[in-house]
Structure 1
């Protein structure tokens, strides 16, 4: 079958389409390969929530869990084996894309233990273990953009490991991520690592900002407040993109590029629409520009395939109006720093909670398999 024309148009506009989902049945049934062929999907992201859901709902893992249980595997050992096996198989599905795009796409992400979000050394160690275990060049190791995560990002990149930086909510934090990325490449160069082998994306979370800000606007209830609903997230992401563009113009970056380095592309994450009053593709159509990734849940992918529209670049040149949105929110008493701090805290807490859910699911499965 030919590629879906709506998704093909999104891809042609410069957006790499990645799926925010992975499970064993998706791989073994051939559906993932069909998404590559028919839906222009060129990558996959995962997280503990996705793995917990897959393990809880699917029978595809039963035999392997029973074998792990029989061999006396610990919960941590079982999680490592189960998740990295899926990721490795997905990497193999995407290997032709990886080769065709020179390593830019065809990527599969796996996250370090979220409990290490405030542990720099532990994060580096976990990233190295995941990189060795999956043993595929098209892997991306996900590291959260916490204060402790930033130096870990640099250290991991310096070792030649490709990184997906996750849980970015603010433009200021994103600037810190960009600096950590450049520092990591500079350190890699000092260590003699071939910069052309390193790739990175920076996952900027979108919809959660609207969810929080819209609730505050509803509480205010004025006509001015209600008119701002659904605007904060796109404005925030567009300002982040301006920060990305500014890096490309620096001598620091150009020196690295001359040595073969690849740009760290912005990745729009959390792009499923939470409010049913909004168009279900708004975080796709509103963030179209070149050299970006949009990782989306299956429902959002299907929605765009059905009725999504590409109306040119909807990001570049919109920084001024985006700043005006955040200024208007501030005038209404909605503090951007306060909202961001809350989202960052909740983001880590949610991933830690999901890891606990995953641990519990695997523990029960191991006990059942005994």
Structure 2
């Protein structure tokens, strides 16, 4: 089966394409396996919203819901069983990719209960529980990059568990995430663990940055501040490109080289939230403008299909863009918009959305259990 030329072109640049979606219907139908062949998909990310949507569509979960209801499982137990089952099966679908890439790709991510985001000890315990339940080497545990999460990230990696660090908006927090990654590997090495088996990605959110900054730019324009129009829809790309610069600097340091000499793989920058929200923007903007070797882009299916249909890949669009990217953020600051306020707001809002998604998933599961309780 021939791969789509546009997704192949992005892969040829060195970008790993991951799908930001998973459902039992997708697994049962074989469509996930087909995307590996036709759209160069080499990994999957999940979240509570994705699972809630999957459970609301189709009947693929009815049998397991009936079995769980018969055992008297509550909603939280059922969520754990259902989501780890799907992720385990997806890991098996990607086993060939995982083997062919020495464990770099072929990864499937599952998120800890987001209500634990401010509790490091609870997050660490949940990460271990999820890892053990899935029981596959190519699973990644998603941990939010809160201040408390930084401690949990290092501790989980130290246990030899691969981690997808999620909900990163600021460059400062990204530096802290990289430090936690290296600290975790240093602790893992001290414990005698094989560093070559421990992998990580840092999920840097993109589109939400433009959404928040553009809203504030509109207010600045209404106040008569000049130059705001040319900054619209520039912040997210600039922010992500500067994250790429930080990654390049961090993973060429002496500290990193010591870990690399012991077999460690670098933590890769993962671009998340890459579907455009503004209908005036290209629907492939956060893909084509953020291409570079060693980067992961996790796309919702709509964005993946748009790329396959009309995405134009023009090589590396991140390296050597850092000076201009700094100018963009400087211009936003000059317009009276606080970068710190933006990223702090986005983190708080993201955590709130995670919590609501989790509650929504629990509600959907509760309805399913009641429906199948005989």
The TM-score bracket by the shorter chain reads over 0.9
1:288-299 → structure 2 map (5 Å cutoff): 288-299=291-302
TM-aligned CA deviation for residue 294 of structure 1: 0.1
Structure 1 length as normaliser, TM-score?
0.99
Listed one character per residue, the Cα deviations across residues 87-145 of structure 1 (whole Å, up to 9, x for unaligned) are: 00000000000000000000000000000000000000000000000000000000000
1:326 matched to 2:353? The reply is: no
User: How far did residue 67 of structure 1 move?
Assistant: 1.0
Q: Which SS does the other structure have where 1:224 is aligned?
A: coil
| 1:172-197, Cα deviation, whole Å (9 max, x unpaired) | 00000000000000000011100000
Secondary structure, aligned partner of 1:127? helix
Residue matched to 2:2:
2
**Which of 263, 278, 289 pairs up with 1:260?**
263
Aligned positions of 1:183-202 closer than 5 A: 183-202=183-202
- In structure 2, the residue matched to 1:134 is 134
**How do 1:215-364 and structure 2 match up within 5 A?**
215-221=215-221, 224-364=227-367
What's 2:105 paired with?
Answer: 105
- The answer as to whether partners of 2:220 and 2:336 remain within 8 angstroms in 1 is no
Deviation at 1:62, TM superposition (A): 0.8
- The structure 1 segments of at least 4 consecutive aligned residues displaced by more than 3 Å after TM superposition are none
How big is each residue's C-alpha offset from its partner over 1:289-321, in whole Å with a ceiling of 9 and x where there is no partner? Answer: 010100000000000000101111110111111
Deviations, residues 256-282 of structure 1 (Å, cap 9, x unaligned): 000000000000000000001001100
| Alpha-carbon distance in 1 for matches of 2:72, 2:156 | 31
Where do 1:116-155 residues align within 5 Å?
116-155=116-155
Could you say what secondary structure the match of 1:82 adopts? Answer: helix
Alpha-carbon shift at residue 32 of structure 1 (Å): 0.4
Q: Which secondary structure does the structure 1 equivalent of 2:94 belong to?
A: helix
- Could you say what the CA RMSD is over the residues aligned between the two structures, in angstroms? 0.7
Number of aligned residues: 370
> How far apart, CA to CA, are the structure 1 residues paired with 2:58 and 2:214?
36
Which runs of no fewer than 5 residues in structure 1 stay unpaired? none
Question: Offset at 1:219?
Answer: 2.1
2-structure distance, mates of 1:242, 1:214: 23
Q: Determine the C-alpha separation between the residues in 2 that align with 1:57 and 1:123.
A: 30
SS of equivalent residue, structure 1 residue 188: helix
- 2:119 and 2:168 mapped to 1: Cα distance? 17
- What CA deviation, in whole Å up to 9, does each residue of 1:64-97 have, x standing for no partner? 1011001101211111110000000000000000
TM-score (norm 2): 0.98
Match of 1:53 in 2: 53
Structure 1: distance between partners of 2:67 and 2:316: 51
